[in-house]
Structure 1
Amino acid sequence: MNKQGWIIYNGNLPGNKFLDFAEWIQSAAAKKSSKTTIYKNNELLSFLGLNQLELLQQSNNQLPDYVVFADKDIYLAKQLELLGVPVFNSAESIHISDDKIATYQYLAKNKLPIPKTIIAPKIFLKGKPDNNSIQLAIQKLGLPMIVKEAFGSFGEQVYLVHTEEELMKKTNELQGKAFIFQEFISSSYGKDLRLHVVGEKVVASMIRKAANDFRANVSAGGTMEAYLPTEQEENLAIAATKAIGADFAGVDLLFGPNNTPLVCEINSNAHIRNMYDCTGINVSDFIMEYILDKIKDE
């Protein structure tokens, strides 16, 4: 019997990038004779009550055999898991991926190479900058330095600061938010790698470069070209994906000293159109093959 699935994306965000991802997944599922329905996250409300755990606004009462969760609404993902539906990626892996601090903690726990990182202390009220933290960060990491908010996408919420004055100003601006101080990897200025991992395999990869920005994100103006990763880079991307418990992910690697790769970020819901435009590889085909193989006996 062919499996039926749902694909869930966030319908409240501007642009068609997230719907585009969902439609690519839907097309890949159809090639495998799996019928899918695309939902916006606000079309499936989680309902809780006495002896009640369900979804509202469902077109029918039948739950799917699987869900591809192209969103960061982890409470909805968890609701589906509690209802017994396999969710890809899991709510926990999406949560870890979305929180850069949690990501680095899991990477460090698994002894994977990352830039040196200090987690800024939590401050709830705005006031004077925490001078002790700033001085310790400068002492341990040096200047220039990266300041990175825990939550952000497309290279935004990442700042390169050059002086102590800039650092104090940025730290003051971010009071009340979760963020980190991080070593600046000058050898990777304006360039990085995106490796797309599915299961135990790197299925596509590209190098991204920016002429006038320390960030290489294509959405921030960077260019891209197909890239053949080394065995070390592939193994690191796969290990990073496993470290956060994801089934598939877009892993961003920096070029450390002597081209030693460092993990920069892990994206549990990495968009796949740029990768296709760059390499001609449709990552969604690999994702659906992986999912359907994993649930075939359920």
Structure 2
Amino acid sequence: MERVMSVRVAIMTDETGWHTARLKKAFRTRDVDARCVDLADCRIDTTWKPHGLAIPGFGHTLPDAAIVRGIAGGTFEQVTLRLGILHALRECGVPVYNDARAIERSVDKSMTSFLLNRYGVPTPATWAGESPAHAQRVLMREAAAGRRVVMKPLFGSQGKGLKKPGVKLPSLKPFSQVAYLQRYVDAGTPGFDWRVLVIGGQAVAAMKRVGGEDWIHNFARGARCEAAELSPALADIAVRATAALGLDYAGVDLIPSEGGRPVVLEVNGVAAWRGLQSVTPVDIAALLVDDLLDRKLAASKSALALASGDERF
């Protein structure tokens, strides 16, 4: 007898593969119908009743929830529209995991740094602006104090486009005319950093990324993944960083500063976990699915029931 799946979830992704297969398997275990949807194929259509929002595979209805696995790059207008679809789902009462506002905060490295600093999460000193003159002064001041800085694209991942300039500021053209500078933290040789995965307010797994291309410790850049102890200090800082950005789940990148104290470099709101899964026994996809269904979707249903006065929930 075929199982009837009453809950339907959209996995928002621009490509299918290992991650989406793991998620779909975890959803099937929970008797949930999960379908991959490319945000580029969605549209706002005010003639599409009753919601004015068309999500392929769901007809004139909407999914019960959505999980964001990937957002393809594109023009400013294309990315704005894709994020707008996620905003629209939230406006229609569909819980989105992570929602558009949280993703916007994590994708923009300057906002990530601002929020980490604002909420007291340890992170290296950071400067972001459009003035080459100010950026040049930062480089000279840091160099005079015997320090280095890292120059990063405002948007980007997997260690792409990172530079360690000297005292002369490189052209801002490759950085879209924005100077994002972060004080360099030397992790020694071979260097390493930590990736901690936080789900539903709890740190669930950690790994070390050792080596890689020069000083960039990314799995995609050749770093070696090793199991790491999830110490109370690592867990606490990673959870606080995730909360500062308002994320349901996140991959938090940390590096040991002087004295070994972890500091947060970046927070990924659309985190991949294939490398981490290779060194941890926990089923990461299952944890993500359980948190979405048992916390996020359950809270949404309870709020809807309270609003409607329905006491059955």
* Fold match (TM-score > 0.5): yes
Q: What residue in structure 1 maps to residue 24 of structure 2?
A: 26
* 3-state DSSP of counterpart to 1:28: helix
- 2:186 is matched with 186
CA contact under 8 A between 1:205 and 1:227: conserved in structure 2?
yes
The answer to whether structure 1 residue 136 and structure 2 residue 138 are counterparts is yes
Identity %: 23
Which residues of 2 match residues 23-102 of structure 1 at below 5 A?
A: 23-48=21-46, 54-56=52-54, 58-59=56-57, 60-72=59-71, 73-102=82-111
* AA of the residue aligned to 1:272: W
Give distance in 2, aligned partners of 1:23 and 1:188. Answer: 37
Q: Which runs of 5+ in 2 are unaligned?
A: 72-81, 302-313
Structure 1 stretch displaced more, 255-264 or 180-189: 180-189
Residue type of the alignment partner of 2:104 = H
Aligned-residue offset at 1:58: 2.9
Which structure dedicates a bigger proportion of its chain to strand? Answer: 1
Question: Partner letter of residue 250 of structure 2?
Answer: A
**Closer/same/farther in 2, CA of residues 171 and 53 from structure 1, 3 Å limit:** farther
Specify the code of the residue in structure 1 equivalent to 2:200: G
Secondary structure of the corresponding residue to residue 163 of structure 2? strand
User: 2:48 touches 2:54 (CA, 8 Å); kept in 1?
Assistant: no
Matched with 2:113 is 104
- Give the match for residue 160 of structure 2: 156
Q: CA deviation at 1:21?
A: 1.8
What TM-score does the superposition give when structure 2 sets the normalisation length?
A: 0.83
Deviates more, 1:30-39 or 1:47-56: 47-56
Q: Any idea what the Cα deviations from partners look like across 1:127-179, whole Å, max 9, x if unmatched?
A: xxx33431234314654320011100111122122x223xx2x2443464333
| Counterpart for residue 273 of structure 1 | 274
Q: Aligned Cα RMSD in Å?
A: 2.3
Once residues 157 and 79 of structure 1 are traced to their aligned partners in structure 2, the CA distance between those partners, rounded to angstroms, is 32
CA contact (8 A) 2:48 2:60 kept: no
Pairs aligned (count): 281
* 8 Å CA contact retained: 1:8, 1:22: no
Partner of 1:219: 220
Tell me if 1:121 matches 2:130. Answer: yes
Give 3-state SS (helix, strand or coil) of 2:63's partner: coil
Match of 2:311 in 1: none
Residues 254-296 of structure 1, C-alpha deviations (whole Å, 9 max, x = no match): 1111110000111111112211112233211111111111223
Contact between 2:142 and 2:148, CA under 8 Å: does it hold in 1? no
| Partner of residue 204, structure 2 | 203
The answer on whether the counterparts of 1:188 and 1:256 sit within 8 Å (CA) in structure 2 is no
The answer as to whether partners of 1:200 and 1:238 remain within 8 angstroms in 2 is yes
Label 1:253 to 1:188 Cα distance change in 2 as closer, same or farther (>3 A): farther
Shift of 1:202: 1.2
Gaps of 5+ in 1: 123-129
The amino acid of 2:52's aligned partner reads E
DSSP 3-state at the match of 2:253: strand
Alignment correspondent of 2:307: none
Instruction: Give the C-alpha shift of residue 120 in structure 1.
Output: 2.6
Question: Cα distance, 1:50 vs. partner?
Answer: 11
1:275 and 1:281 in contact (8 A); partners too: no
Instruction: Name the SS for the 1:159 alignment partner.
Output: coil
Give 3-state SS (helix, strand or coil) of 1:115's partner: coil
Mapped to 1, the partners of 2:108 and 2:68 lie a distance apart of 17
The Cα of 1:10 is off from its aligned counterpart by 1.6
Deviations 1:58-101 (A, max 9, x none): 33112111000112342221121122211000110100111111
User: In the aligned structure 2, how far is the partner of 1:51 from the partner of 1:212?
Assistant: 52
Alignment match, 2:234: 233
C-alpha spacing 1:212/1:58, structure 2 compared with 1 (3 Å): closer
User: Shift of residue 188 of structure 1?
Assistant: 5.6
Shift of the 57–260 alpha-carbon distance from structure 1 to 2, 3 Å rule, reads: closer
Partner of 2:304: none
Task: Check 1:200–1:176 CA distance in 2 against 1; reply closer, same or farther (3 A cut).
Answer: closer
**How far is 1:31 from its partner?**
1.1
Q: Letter of the 1:214 partner, please give it.
A: W
CA distance in 2, matches of 1:281, 1:177: 42
Look up the equivalent residue of 1:179 and give its one-letter code: A
